Amino acid sequence: MIGLTKIVFGCLLIIQLINAERHEPKPFGRISGQSFLPNKAMNTNLINIKANVNPFTFGGPKHLIPRMRYGLSFCKTCINFADEALNTLLNAILNIGVVGECSTLCQYVAEKIGSEVAGVVCNLLCDYVGIKEFISIIEKADLDPIWYCELLKACPINDNGDAKITDFSVVPSQGPQGTFTINLSYVSNNGTGTGELYIGVRTVDKVPVEDSFLLEASNPGQYQAQIRLNAVPDPDCDPTQGLCERWLPGTYAVETAICNGQCGSIHPHSAIYDQATTEFTIV
């Protein structure tokens, strides 16, 4: 009877998740945390993920960004939730104190974040492992979304995975301010674990432009991605509030890394599969 109750409750939560997604579409966020590269900062905007690996666009004006909904891949949903809610969950544990039920903790998180989706996903994850284990995993995760979701068994682990970059280039290699396409190809002989694709641009005026994108666990094979870089000044960027990239004439180095787990993570199931560098010039 208890098992049937849990199944029914889980089905109701999934229905709520679908309905919440339908009414609260979210952009797919970057994976936060420390990069293997120094001085990682966020001056990026992310749009339109599709196709074989993940073609992306970033670096451009905010008005170019369409909304992307949470997918029903539970690993992706978990990482989206963790990226948004891990810090709030830690604060909740400190502020609430002893929590006896998942619903109490998850309601607090949903209200603080202002997201029905976050509350539903929180309940799904918490009810799956139980409140004590859920809190223990939050404390162990150290604000690493991928590691957190692996601890919850929401994301697959592959410690024998690999990826070798076979092409990394920018088209056009030279041109005026505008859209540049970063082409990335890699091959995997053993498949990959749940990980991250990092892209960083070393700009002429030293303003860091970079982002990280979730790479879900994959089978052996050849993969390609296109990352569209909007190398145009953001008209909404306020220099009194932060650094604004101007995309001045000059040569820009572009760096990438394909990682198992979060790039730069010290947690288990984390490694840098491969790295590469290329460049383009704005005239």
Tell me the per-residue pLDDT of 224-252, one tens digit each, with 9 for 90 and over.
Answer: 988 899 999 988 888 898 889 999 999 99
User: What is the C-alpha end-to-end distance of the chain, expressed in Å?
Assistant: 70
- pLDDT computed for residue 236 by the predictor: 87
DSSP state of 69: P
pLDDT at 8 over 80: no
pLDDT at 50 over 70: no
Mean pLDDT of 53-82: 52
pLDDT at 66 over 90: no
Mean pLDDT of 63-71: 28
pTM given for the model: 0.74
Mark residue 172 as left, alpha or beta (left: phi above 0; alpha: psi -120 to 50; beta: remaining): beta
Beta bridge partners of 224: 185
> For all residues of the chain together, what is the average pLDDT?
77
Cα–Cα dist 271/260, whole Å = 5
